[in-house]
Amino acid sequence: MLKRTFFVLVFVISACVTVNIYFPAAAVERAAEQIVKETWGGPGEPNKALPKPQSYNPLAPMPAVSVKFASEAHAQEADINVSNPAIRALKDSIKQRSSAIKPYMDRGNIGIGQDGLLRIRTTDGLNLKERAEAQQLVEAENRDREALYAEIAKANNISQENIPKIKSIFAKTWIEQAQPGWWIQDSQGNWKKK
């Protein structure tokens, strides 16, 4: 009887541990591709603002946008919510700021770090006002990107410990979708033109 109780207890504990460690990497990858393209455009694509319908109401709830995937390890489908009010506000902020950042990226003053965050690469050719503006843009952008990753985790019940995984997936996507001629930092910290 004691052996049987022990095996049942071990089975229950191991089942609980397995459920809690799952991370929906494929769904996060698709969400990252969608968000980066939506906010910054794809490689070589200008950032295009979509016209708002005449009946646009910023306070009206928007339908949830989800990315579906099927995992080999799990037969069930999971949704990644990337369209709650907090995420929409962050995406809008990133999108609006991108047109101010892109000229600095085109000139090589700002680059994309290996972690997907923006960095001041050089201040050559910038006057004092432009240096301050570039620094403010980079700080605001990085703050919004970090907040976006946390909000995606929160909206999808992904543990805080997995936010670095979300950030890593987004970093890869920001770099892949960077426009040709922009500066990218490699894993050794060296800058290279895309």
| pLDDT at residue 133 in the model | 98
Are 27 and 35 in contact, with CB atoms under 8 Å apart? no
* Whole-number average pLDDT of the chain: 81
Q: Which residues, in sequence order, are CB contacts of 31 under 8 Å at separation 6+?
A: 67, 80, 82, 152
Rounded Cα distance, 121 and 188, in Å:
15
Residue numbers in the chain where pLDDT is lower than 50 = 6, 16-20, 45-77
Q: Which pLDDT score is estimated for 78?
A: 62
Cα separation, 47 vs 41, in Å, equals 5
- The predicted model scores a pTM of 0.73
Judge contact between 90 and 83, C-beta under 8 A. Answer: no
